[in-house]
Structure 1
Amino acid sequence: MSLNKTPRSERLHIAIFGRRNAGKSSLINAITGQNVALVSPVKGTTTDPVYKAMELLPLGPVVFIDTAGIDDEGELGELRKKKTWEVLGKTDVAILLIDNTEGVGEPEEEILSAIKKQKIPAIAVFNKCDLKTISSDMLSFYNAKWEIPVVQVSAATGEGIEKLKEILMQTAKADEDQVFIVKDLISRGDFVVLVVPIDKSAPKGRLILPQQQTIREIIDAGGMAVVTQEDRLKETLDALKVKPRLVITDSQVFHKVAADTPLDIPLTSFSILFARYKGDLEELVKGTQAVEKLKDGDKVLIAEACTHHRLDDDIAQVKIPRWLKQKTGKNLHIDIASGGDFPENLKEYSLVIHCGACMLNRREMMRRIRQVKEAGVPIVNYGVFIAYVQGILNRVLQPFRKLRNALKEEEETKVV
């Protein structure tokens, strides 16, 4: 991935849902002004979700998700529909596309109900007004019934596309959630020291995504990023004329970095910062309480959002199972899930340990946390778990005073 290219996980995800041949691919082409999606009069041309990353002014970097028809048929059709429904979990803005020549039916009502249940901002778009026009009264009727913006367009001629883009911009901005990696923890002129181990797992010639994004946000905040390796941290701190506002480390070298960082300098990790940025840090910290309760034979799920070449000392397959064994002394059954699939049998597990989610957007990570909670299972992420088993969780939560106070109050209430 180019260092100048916005990663897909950081782009606004706009998914288009509708029946086969409603014009979903054509609509993407009309909105973007480019032939980026395959268009065919044959029903079912789009068989799996297709992701199209691009710049859409004035929104900026977005990814359009072209889905299979919600009315697909047959055994394969059901599988394709399942993939389409899974897209809801990562959708920031949903476009429900309706074919004017077909009208509104059960498929549209069903997908809209799911969109509303997951509280996804949505727009209803009636397409093919060049073939059949919907009256303004009917548009008003659906606007009132569904309580979402409704617009009529022709993806073929371009009619109504500019109005749709305006509504899309308003809908996306209304759902903006100001969550930062590090920007709210520092002030202009602050030094931030980043500890970046260089080992066999580090991509040659570049930093991993969370490190890149953290550095960029420090710069945006007017701070100054100083990057060093774990064996040169003391030397780096001594060389600085002022005390850094924060030290951020890779979680796998927590112990050494904690030992070399003076107690009056706040310390945290990339993984913990991303636990907050992509998910629910408080929920992930609470999940550590389940580690001590694990019993022989309990199942633990280790979930990674990406797939990569496994190393001899791989964190998911080797390090985390080893740390679990050392901390609990129990014989546990470990399952590992990688990539976009997330197990449905979550109730079988006593604990879920999730990666830092740098390859997921916030909505998808929050969906995963919600799924785990609904199954009644505690969840932690790598950084939180590693800090906990190494006995420095309270230390690395130092920058998050409100969270530490809330957890302390909760513990005091339990004791009482």
Structure 2
Amino acid sequence: MANTPFVEAKTHYERFGVNVEEAFQKLSTIPISVHCWQGDDITGFEVTKRELSGGIDVTGNYPGKARNGEELRADLDKALSLIPGTHRVNLHAIYAETDGEEVDRDAIEPKHFKRWVDWAKEKGIGLDFNPTVFAHPKAEDGLTLSHPDPEIRTFWINHCKASRKIAAYFGEELGTPSLVNIWVPDGYKDTPSDRLTPRKRLKESLDEIFSEEYDESLVLDAVESKLFGIGSEAYVVGSHEFYLSYAQQNNKLCLLDSGHFHPTETISNKLSSLLLFNEKVALHVSRPVRWDSDHVVTFDDELKEIAHEIIRADAHERVNIGLDFFDASINRVAAWTIGTRNTVKALLYALLEPTNHLKELQEQGNFTERLALLEEFKTYPFGAIWDEYCQRQQVPVKESWLNDIKEYEENIQSKRV
């Protein structure tokens, strides 16, 4: 074999027992759940368009955003064609396609997502799902599943039940379980006089939502916490402690969003603890430049550390990795491509670490050599390995994918007016 940059790079890693071919094989089996809402700024397809709420905002007005399901799926097709590996797509309930009929969220049905399922079958990918518990008249005061009004609580309970039914439909039709994740914005702007009662109501609502059981071959239930939000700065009902406890007591997945914690907290540091006590864990990987600002994921230290923790724990089959960012200041298909390629890249970077050797050094107390190797590996010829993986996966190498984006923008997105 010719002495290509890949062959030469491979020899450096092999000196420490890293099998690059095995890393490629393992990486090809790890799906990333790509969030559909980056493609249209969380607008959705509801007949009545509503302003975002729940502490969520999308900034920027880059031209060419998707306006309907056909355009959004076309944009996802383009992004997925530029990303190595076979991945998943994560939907929100507001992406139901009702053909102009006004269907409120407590009445959505599997039939409203048939086009998504047909598309996913064509691509051979799985779909995940999220009830949309925000941006609605019944969420205007910032309370939903913990609302003191039982009629409002019942509306949102029924919406979440309908969402789980849709997820089961995905699981049945696509042959892979659909992760359905519940996040609600409930909280108070100022210090509450009673923290317990809203949490009691939230617990009771969740109990009712999960009263119907689905086989885990169809549905994986997850609950997602948040530290604070715009309009709920002082108190969020669904805190990390609340959902972590609820998930463990009720055999649900605890979903960690990298933007939903204190700025000095990292979800990478939480993974090993959760994996010790839970069979599965779910993630929403984002980049919180200023707390929960949901920037496009870059190849930064925390992304690499998240990947390292998953690989070091041999937990790539136990951690459901999803993305969650929305940037309307740049080409939206490029945002998907950058963020997802970086996540795959971080996993490969972690797979090329001599994990067992470094663990042995730590156990021996040889912290000098451990630190030295960790630092030296940062400048190992990783780029050549990544390029080879992209080439084998038949996606563009290096920045050449930008040409595809430019052409797509010129021929397709620029004509959306």
Report the TM-score, using the length of structure 2 for normalisation: 0.26
Q: Which protein, 1 or 2, shows the higher relative CO under an 8 Å CA cutoff with sep ≥ 6?
A: 2
Higher strand share: 1
Higher helix share: 2
Report the TM-score, using the length of structure 1 for normalisation: 0.26
